[in-house]
Amino acid sequence: MGCSYCKKKTIAKHNDAISCSCPHKDATAQPWFRVVANLSDSTGTISATLFGNEMKKLTSCTPIQMMNLFEEGRVDDIEDVVNKFNGQEHIFQLKAYQYGSAVNFTVLSIDDTRTNSQI
């Protein structure tokens, strides 16, 4: 769960009001995707953390839908969602930036190589 505005992690339950350090005083706890993925091309592999919008595009599933599948114990349906993008080829347009000694990346766009279209 994360803040409905800034996505900062919280242990509150879905839709509970939370006190967050961001300026919004009406924030609630909302589910967000957070998936670590290995992105590879001919030059190498990077480990990337994919959040809300990227995962929603790749899975065609919202975080609330995924949360409901989990709460209902529908493991097979969760696997179906994951298998929609696991091992698939996509083109990620990334922007790299230095953060301390680490290099981080922001996803600018995702293209589906099967349809040659942006998702």
SS3 112: strand
- CB of 80: closest distance to Zn ion in angstroms? 32
CB-wise, 24 or 74, nearer to Zn ion?
A: 24
Q: Which is nearer to Zn ion, 13 or 74 (CB)?
A: 13
19/47 with CB nearer Zn ion: 19
Question: 6 or 64, CB closer to Zn ion?
Answer: 6
Binding residues vs Zn ion (CB under 5 A): 3, 5-6, 8, 20, 22, 27
The pair of structure tokens assigned to 65 is 């839908």
Nearest distance from residue 33's CB to Zn ion, in Å?
A: 17
Q: Phi and psi for 101 in degrees, rounded to 5?
A: -90, -5
Report yes or no: 8 and 21 within 8 Å, Cβ to Cβ: yes
Tokens standing for residue 72: 């209902």
Q: C-beta of 27: minimal distance to Zn ion in Å?
A: 5
CA–CA gap between residue 83 and residue 90 (Å, rounded): 14
Least distance CB 87 / Zn ion (angstroms): 35
Half-sphere exposure of 108 (CA within 13 A, CB side): 5
